[in-house]
Amino acid sequence: MKKNDVFSVPQRQSRFAIIFIVLRSVKRIISQLWPLLLAALLGRGGSSRFDTLELAIAGIGLIGIIPAIIGYFKYYFHLSDTELIIHKGLFKKVKLNIPFERIQSVNFTQTAIHQFLKVTEVEIETAGSTEQETKIDALDIPTAELLRKRILEKKAAVTQLTGEFSDVQEEVELETEERTTILKLPTRELLKVGLVQNHLKPLGLILGLCSTIFYYSYTFDWDFDPRTFLRTAFSYVEDLDYYLAIVVIILILIASVLYSIVTTVLRYYNLHFWRAGNKFQVVQGLFTRQEFAALDNKVQILNWGQNPLERLIGFYNIVFSQAKSGEVKKGSAKFKIPGCSIEQVEFVQEAWLGIKGLPFDKYSTVSPHFFYHTAMYLLLFSSILTAGAIYAGKILSALMIILILIIFLYLNWINYKKKRYAINSTELYVGGGTLGLRHSLLPLYKIQDVNIVENPYQWRRKLSTLVVNTAGGAIKIPYIPKEEALKLMDELIYEVERSKKSWM
Amino acid sequence: MDTNSSFSNEQVDISMIPSVKDIELTGLDKNHLTVDLIATGIIWSIIGIGLSVSFFFNSDEIETWIARIVLIVLLFIIICSFCLLIFGFKKKKYALREKDIIYQEGLFWRTYTVLPFNRVQHAEVQQGPIERLFSLGKLKIYTAGGSSSDLAISGLQYETAQSMKHYILHQTSIDEEE
């Protein structure tokens, strides 16, 4: 390993890193000085001469950028036998020592600029929660891959040598390690995935945007009036006002579907999801190539399910809930793989649990009070509204409220009917959903603590909600008999206290 | 992967699993109620004085009956909050077991928590200024489950809180050695 190991001497990043460092500091400066910038832009009026304010801003900008550039030349990293060592800092010299056994995974992220320059950002994820995020802005891809290989090799060597952490799973990726592809999404499949995403989210976004435009066009005297614009655009339609509403609704629906397709393609383009050693890995994205790794021991809850549209064409999505440590990026703590088949879901389950999951003897349902309690509030609230509407003489509104009430009651009823849970000697399962389906699976040794919570409605009827906390989020079993909740609590706690397995 | 030769996996009789139902819970120190009442009293007096002063100086603009209603509602809320404290106090109970800590609280919305020691990341004892007068302390236990699963028990005698903390950290370290 020693000979031609380039990483034993301090190394700089790829020269292109300067670009990213400068971009980052420009972003920081803009985010701090944007009121000034705005003032300068607006105050400039028609004159083309630079005034003092603009010069000052340019000056501050330059002063901010120069240290960033020098910072690049002061940044070195190398590998010793036991640690990754990073030297950095312009005025305050910083030496970061990251022992290999603390390193959880080495992730690559490529933005469009990275891809163009054929470099990648390298992020080193550590187990500690207080550790600062360690990032190398740019390395050319062969170097980055070699670096990752070396780190993981040395990590494996260190772990074997000390014999520590022997029961803790570690990321070991050697050249010989096999990659089992679980899922690849070709473009056609990807478009399908986009088509079955939750379109309500972009719908809300677009409605918000539209109402903002209408609001401003009312409040300020804009040249652009959306109503006139629409009237002109669809002037060939007779009986305009009636059709206009329908046209706008259709346009908005199309726009939200398009929006989800575009975001899906941007995010999941060329998705490759595979299993290697003791981790799941995914590479995805059109402009920004993202790479996430989920180590088996870091994943706390495995979720899979379908939204109503996904049910129609038989797609499943998988969501890994990982343990959150202080600096882990939001995206990597919980990440989602769309467009899977049920076989792929089962494969992931089995691979993660290490064994074929034990079957559950029986699936228990929750108390119907889960439905009654919400229904009670729905009825109360809507009867007040209906009474008000009838009193005001608005019969149509009253009918609408009753219709909405019926829909909500129905959804609530399905939600109760679908809620179920099961436990065996090693795992806890909770499933449910309204129009879609969502399943969560959790090995018992990953539980952090167990709570029983009761609202007045519940304790008067000897019912409880069981809340199981893990490092990757909570699982709730609502409205079960108190006796049952206490029994479950005893069993879960017993397994946690007995288990010698580390939850991470 | 598990090379431990003493590994065993015998069948467990569910009825033999220790049950949380049989546990006798201990109430908090009586002074805790006093501390809570004083702290709440201070906050309400600040709000009350502030409102009264602002009514007094704006008496021209605010109708007397509005001011009266606001003050009566405020009084009602204050009485309710004191009642909640007094009756809720009896509901706060805890117990230590060999391998976990149990805590319950809540008059209307009740919670009952069991936290195993082998999941404890860190434990500490905190003491506020009023608590110091009564030599009380607050035991905080942190897990990796995020803020929702951290446990805080206030109203313990400071000495008790300290020894509980030591006990918990000791049990945690035993577990790690095994």
Instruction: Name the strands in the sheet holding A289-295, side by side, starting at the edge strand that comes first in the sequence.
Output: A134-140, A119-126, A103-110, A289-295, A279-284, A272-276, A179-184
Tell me, yes or no, if B43 comes closer than 8 A to chain A by beta carbon: no
Where in the sequence is the domain holding A227, given as residue range(s)?
200-268
CB spacing of B19 vs A493 below 8 angstroms: no
Residue A122 and residue A39 in one domain: yes
Give residue B57's pLDDT.
83
Establish if A224 belongs to a structural domain.
yes
The residues facing B15 across adjacent strands are none
CB contact under 8 A, A493 and B114: yes
Same domain flag for A24 and A142? yes
- Residue A426: inside a domain, yes or no? no
**Whether residue A153 is found in the same domain as residue A261:** no
Phi, psi of A171 (to 5 degrees): -75, 115
Residue in A with minimal Cα distance to B175? A500
Model pLDDT, residue A329? 43
Closest CA to B96 of B158, B42, B171, B6: B171
- A149 in a structural domain: yes
Regarding whether A205 and A156 lie in a shared domain, the answer is no
- Domain co-membership, A150 together with A81: yes
- Cα separation, A53 vs A302, in Å, equals 55
Q: pLDDT digits over A372-385, tens only?
A: 999 999 999 999 99
B27, B93 in Cβ contact below 8 A?
Answer: yes
| Whether residue A107 sits in one domain with residue A16 | yes
Q: How far is A155 from chain B (nearest CA, A)?
A: 18
Q: Which residues of B touch A490 (CB under 8 A)?
A: 17-20
Max CA separation in chain B (angstroms): 86
pLDDT of the residue at A328: 44
Q: Each residue of A459-496: pLDDT tens digit? A: 999 999 999 998 888 999 999 999 999 999 999 999 99
Q: Which residue stretches of chain B have pLDDT < 70?
A: 1-11, 146-147, 176-178
Paired with A98 in beta bridges are: A84
Dist. CA A376–CA A368, nearest whole Å: 12
What pLDDT does residue A225 have? 65
* Beta-carbon separation of B111 and A451 below 8 A: yes
Answer yes or no: do A250 and A156 share one domain.
Answer: no
Q: What residues does each domain of chain B span?
A: 31-88, 93-177
Instruction: Quote the pLDDT of residue B7.
Output: 58
The reply to whether A325 falls in a domain is no
**Judged by CB atoms within 8 Å, which residues 139-168 of B form the interface with A?**
143-146, 148-149, 151
Helix, strand, coil share of chain B (percent; to 5):
50, 25, 25
Same domain, yes or no: A110 and A254 = no
| 10-residue averages of pLDDT along chain A (504 residues) | 66 84 81 72 56 74 79 86 82 79 80 85 69 75 87 79 46 57 88 88 84 70 64 62 76 89 90 88 85 85 92 91 61 79 91 77 92 95 92 88 94 95 91 91 92 95 94 91 94 89 80
Q: Identify whether residues A97 and A152 lie together within a single domain.
A: yes
**A136, A13 Cβ separation under 8 angstroms:** yes
Tell whether B11 lies on the interface with A, counting CB pairs under 8 A: no
Which residues from B are below 8 Å from A167, CB to CB?
A: 1-2
Last residue of some domain: A241, A268, A295?
A268
In a domain, A83, yes or no: yes
Q: Does A29 map to a domain?
A: yes
**B93-177: what CATH class?**
mainly beta
Element (H, E) at A219: helix A200-219
A47, A140: one domain: yes
How many domains would you assign to chain A? 2
Residue A252 lies in a domain: yes
> Are A154 and A205 found together in one domain?
no
Model pTM above 0.80: no
A308 in a domain, yes or no? no
CATH number at residue A61: 2.30.29.30
| ipTM for the predicted complex | 0.86
**Binary contact (A494, B18; C-beta < 8 A):** yes
If you ran DSSP here, which 8-state letter would residue B81 be given? Answer: H
| Residues A165, A31 within the same domain | yes
